[in-house]
Amino acid sequence: MNILENQILYQCEYCKKSFITKQGAKNHEEKYCYLSPIPKRKWLEKVKSCEHEWETKLSPMAGEEHLLEPDYDYCIHCSVTEMELRKLLNA
């Protein structure tokens, strides 16, 4: 986390977004920043310790928007998809 000089502002060290409070910047870095490695790391920990429960995501069929077809399976707890999990296990 960077502290900007001459200003009472805190800056995300990943995407350079500024915040008025330190807590706001910290919160952003840990949860919301798309450039920060922290949310991903936390999510990975969650995925590893999760007892997955699968649900099938339905998506509209191409050309038949009113019809739904099974798209992919995802975990209702950690929201990992089957494909992502397979990749993680092979990594």
Q: Which residues bind Zn ion (CB under 5 A)?
A: 12, 14-15, 17, 33, 50, 52, 75, 77-78
List all residues 6 or more positions away from 29 whose beta carbon is below 8 Å from its beta carbon. 1, 12, 13, 14, 36, 38
Task: Give the single-character DSSP code of 81.
Answer: B
How far is Cα 33 from Cα 58, in angstroms, rounded to an integer? 28
Which residue number, 22 or 77, has a Cβ lying nearer to Zn ion?
Answer: 77
Shortest distance in whole angstroms from residue 46 CB to Zn ion: 7
Rg (CA), the chain: 19
- CB nearer to Zn ion: pick between 14 and 82: 14
- Closest CB 61 distance from Zn ion, rounded Å: 27
Whichever of 58 and 88 has its CB closer to Zn ion, that residue is 88
Q: Is 10 exposed, middle or buried (0-12, 13-18, 19+ CB in 10 A)?
A: buried
Nearer to Zn ion among residue 26 and residue 52 (C-beta): 52
Least Å distance, CB 74 to Zn ion, is: 8
